[in-house]
Amino acid sequence: MKKKNIEFIKNMILFAISNLVPKILSFIMIPIYTKYLTTNDYGYSDLIISTSALLLPIFTLNLQDAVMKYSLDNSNDKKNIFTIASKIYLSGILLVSLFIFIASMLNIINLPSYFFVYLIIYYTVSAIHSLFTYFCKGIEKINIIIYASLANSLVVVTMNIFFVIFLKMGVTGYLLANILGLLISIIIMFIFAKLYLYWTKEKNRKLTKEMIKFSLPMILSAIGWWINNSIDKYFLSLMVSVSVMGIYSIASKIPNMLAIFQSIFNSAWSISAIKEYDPDDKDGFFSNTLILMNMVLTISSSILMITNIFISKILFSGEFFYAWKYVPPLLMSVIFNIISLYFESILLATNNTKEIGKSSIIGAAVNIILDFILIKYIGAYGAAIATMISFFVVMLFKCFKAQKYIKYKENISIIFISYLLLFIQTIIAYFGNKFILLEVVILIILLYLYKNKILLLWEKIKFKISKKN
């Protein structure tokens, strides 16, 4: 096995540990959230997290990818990179705090007072956590990220049980638990990755300009990504109700089972794509990775659509149960987002950040227009459809742009055939379990479509087992 494959698989395994446990624990907590939090509570907490996600790329200049990319280059001084980023991030925290304080004082937005307090705190810990995580990736301290991620999850779960169940603190307890989780993760990375050693008084204006130039187009990308992920929640809260938005938000928990793969894959792939970029794809590493990844995503998504209502009955209590309807199109959104990130890593490796920004803005415009039209007529389901279409547009744009910089050794048209099958299943799934046999037929066709890859994987697994024995 080639060195690039070994390193990619190794990173995949490491990030799998750091992402799988948190997602599983978060998944286990869903029945608690739907039982002890009202749809309104969940709606407000999701608004805080979503608003923080919007402010983050703007006030940090979305420097995180530059931090990782420049840190991976051994010709750069790691201390300068960390110091430059830290100063920009700290300035952003101060500006956000001032901005939110003024907004609350002037009563620009009619929201509960706790909303603004927790928004400042949540933004602060999220920003620092983002900086530390991407810098640790850049200096290849992957083990530290894993420890920090696991600690974060354990704290979030235990504190949620304590605050929400025993102290009955509702949404306040939920937010406190999430903040404490991020805080413990920050402390672990700071101490064990010895980040305190990377601060320097030296100024490097040339590197600062380079990093900002690289990152500025990515701000548009991050805002576009945020719009595709979150703007529908704001439309729903304004055009329908915060309660409906809360139900819609909980629906994403099932697609998030698929997003586990996104977190694992993208964390490892973003490093490999930069380090192992090969425009001719001589050994098929890039095309094989794309096809195998898509195979796992589409087959998993098909299975989740078939079992959607069964899973929803277990996870969602009361009014939250109706979230099952929004799951199928949101599952497809997750697939398009993951594949989009695959192409984005190629564009990052070739320094084409402007193309990434363009794609996100186009997708965001599509999402906003469709939200206006569809939510008015079909409510939250319209929001899910808008998100699915917008992510497909972004993925398609990045796919065409990335193909200018890489020649795939294998034919990748199979992925679009699988999307057509899955889209048909999404339409069928709208009617619940009424046509579940047709959904099973689609799953069988998908398995047949990827039979060669499945058999090849199976042979490799058998070979590995026989070698050990």
3-state per-residue secondary structure call for 76-101: CCHHHHHHHHHHHHHHHHHHHHHHHH
What is the distance between the alpha carbons of residues 124 and 139, in angstroms, rounded to a whole number?
23
Instruction: Note whether 67 and 143 are same-domain residues.
Output: yes
Same domain, residue pair 260 and 145:
no
Is 164 found in the same domain as 82? Answer: yes
Of 184, 203, 222, the residue at which a domain comes to its end is 203
Q: Is 469 part of any domain?
A: yes
- Per-position pLDDT tens, the chain of length 469: 455 555 555 555 665 555 666 666 666 777 777 777 777 777 778 788 888 888 998 899 889 888 988 888 777 889 999 999 999 999 999 999 998 888 878 776 666 777 788 889 999 999 999 999 999 988 888 889 888 988 998 899 899 889 988 888 888 888 899 999 999 999 999 999 999 999 888 888 899 998 988 888 778 777 877 777 777 877 887 787 777 777 887 787 778 777 666 556 555 555 555 555 555 555 556 677 788 888 888 998 999 999 988 888 887 777 778 888 888 999 999 899 888 888 887 777 776 777 877 888 888 899 999 998 998 888 889 989 999 999 999 999 988 887 777 776 666 778 889 999 999 999 999 998 888 999 999 999 999 988 887 777 666 666 555 655 5
Q: Which domain-ending residue is among 203, 219, 240?
A: 203
In three-state form (DSSP H/G/I as H, E/B as E, the rest C), the secondary structure along 396-428 is: HHHHHHHCCCCCCCCCCCHHHHHHHHHHHHHHH
318: left (phi over 0), alpha (psi -120 to 50) or beta: left
Is 37 in contact with 164 (CB distance < 8 Å)?
A: yes
Claim to verify: residue 348 and residue 468 sit in the same structural domain: yes
Residue 397 shares a structural domain with residue 447: yes
Do 247 and 362 lie in one domain? The reply is yes
- Indicate if 116 and 265 belong to the same structural domain: no
Whether this prediction's pTM lies above 0.85 is answered by no
- Dihedral angle computed from the Cα positions of residues 29, 31, 33 and 38, in that order, rounded to the nearest 10 degrees: 180
Tokens of residue 418, six digits: 């699988």
- Distance between CA 170 and CA 114 in Å, rounded? 13
Rounded to a whole number of angstroms, the CA Rg of the chain reads 22
How far is residue 415's CA from residue 198's CA, in Å, rounded to a whole number?
A: 43
Please indicate, yes or no, if residue 347 is contained in any of the structural domains: yes
Output the DSSP codes for 169-181: -HHHHHHHHHHHH
Residue 241 lies in a domain: yes
Residues near 370 by beta carbon (within 8 Å), at least 6 away in sequence:
382, 385, 386, 389, 390
> What is the DSSP secondary structure assignment for residue 165, as one 8-state letter?
I
**Rounded CA separation 395/402 (Å):** 10
Q: What was the pLDDT predicted at 7? A: 58
114 and 250 co-located in one domain: no
Residues 250 and 148 in one domain: no
Comparing CA positions, the residue from 285, 406, 418 lying closest to residue 7 is: 285
Same domain, yes or no: 334 and 289: yes
Closest CA to 33 of 170, 194, 156: 170
* Residues 291 and 329 reside in one and the same domain: yes
pLDDT of residue 402: 79
Q: Using alpha carbons only, what angle is made at residue 359 by residues 130 and 229, rounded to the nearest 5 degrees? A: 50
In a domain, 300, yes or no: yes
Q: Is residue 392 part of a domain?
A: yes
Number of domains in the chain: 2
Domain boundary among 153, 186, 203: 203
Pair (359, 434) in one structural domain: yes
Examine residue 460 and state whether it is found in any structural domain, yes or no: yes
Residue range(s) defining the domain that contains residue 88: 25-203
Query: Tell me, what's the pLDDT at 1?
Result: 47
